[in-house]
Structures are given as C-alpha cells and as structure tokens.
Amino acid sequence: MDAETIMNLAPGPEMNKLVRDALAEYEESEYEQEMKWSEDNAAALELWKLIDCYCHCVCLAKLGTDIPPIISQMASIGEEGHRVTVYVGDWREALCKAFLLWENGKSGDFMHPNWEQAMKSAPERIFN
C-alpha cells in the first residue's frame, strides 16, 4: 500500500482491519473481535504496547499550541536508520498510520494531507 493511500485513510473500520492484518504478521491474532485501534483510547494504548514490543521505539507527542490542530499530534516508530513519523490531529490515528507506513516499508515524515492549507490559514504570531 502506498503512503498517500495510508495517509488518506479515515479512522474507522477499514483502518482498524488493516492494523489487525498487519499485527497478524507478528502473532496469532487474539483479537478476533473488532478492535477499534484508531477510535478507542484503550485499544490504541494496547496497540502502542504491541508496536513497542515488535517494532521498538514508539513515541507519541502533542505539539505546541501554535501548530494548526490538523497536525498537532504525532506518532513516531523506529530508530535512526528506519523511522516513520506521522503528524495528524489525533494520536490514535497517528499511531495507526505510522504503524501501517512502517509495515509497508516507508520511512520519513508524513503530514495530514491538508496540512499546507491549514498552515496558510493559521494566524501569524507576532512576538515583541
């Protein structure tokens, strides 16, 4: 799956299924019921633990208030040689997308598809 397709996925059943399918590479799926990885805090925290166990180095962060909300939260997976960082408005979505990009061999920084427009319409801050 290419990066553009992953970044354009909306949180919900399709993204959750892709995450579940990617996890099957690491373990027999104990998640027979539909886990809402991209929508539910508890499920996303479970995903964070699994990614940390299998992929190493998982980071989640909320960025400063001067950042447009559309890219205000980020998830990063990997280390210096192979790292994926995703900036979107929700940490659960960022974590799922970073994992899917990682699993598809991508690396680098990925922003919400509409972030450039959000930056153009963000108010300028003036500091004295």
Predicted local distance difference test score (pLDDT) of residue 122: 64
Give me the CATH number covering residue 81: 3.30.2120.10
Q: Quick one: pLDDT band at residue 127, thresholds 50, 70, 90?
A: very low
Residue 108 sits at φ, ψ, to 5 deg, of 115, -170
**Distance (Å) of CA 36 to CA 13, 20, 41, 119:** 7, 10, 9, 30
Predicted local distance difference test score (pLDDT) of residue 128: 35
Q: Does the pLDDT of residue 28 top 80, yes or no?
A: no
Predicted local distance difference test score (pLDDT) of residue 56: 75
Cα–Cα distance for residue pair 122/94, rounded to 1 Å: 21
Residues 52-77: tens digit of each pLDDT: 988 878 999 998 887 788 888 999 99
Q: Quick one: pLDDT band at residue 105, thresholds 50, 70, 90?
A: very high
Question: Is 19 a domain residue?
Answer: yes
Question: Is 126 a domain residue?
Answer: no
Mean pLDDT of 15-44: 83
Question: Is 57 a domain residue?
Answer: yes
Question: Is 61 a domain residue?
Answer: yes
Residue 82 sits at φ, ψ, to 5 deg, of -145, 100
Looking at the chain, how many residues does it have? 128
Higher pLDDT, 7 or 80: 7
* Count: domains in the chain: 1
CA-based nearest residue to 58, from 42, 38, 41, 44: 44
User: Domain limits at 88?
Assistant: 3-121
Q: In which residue are the tokens 């960022």 written?
A: 94
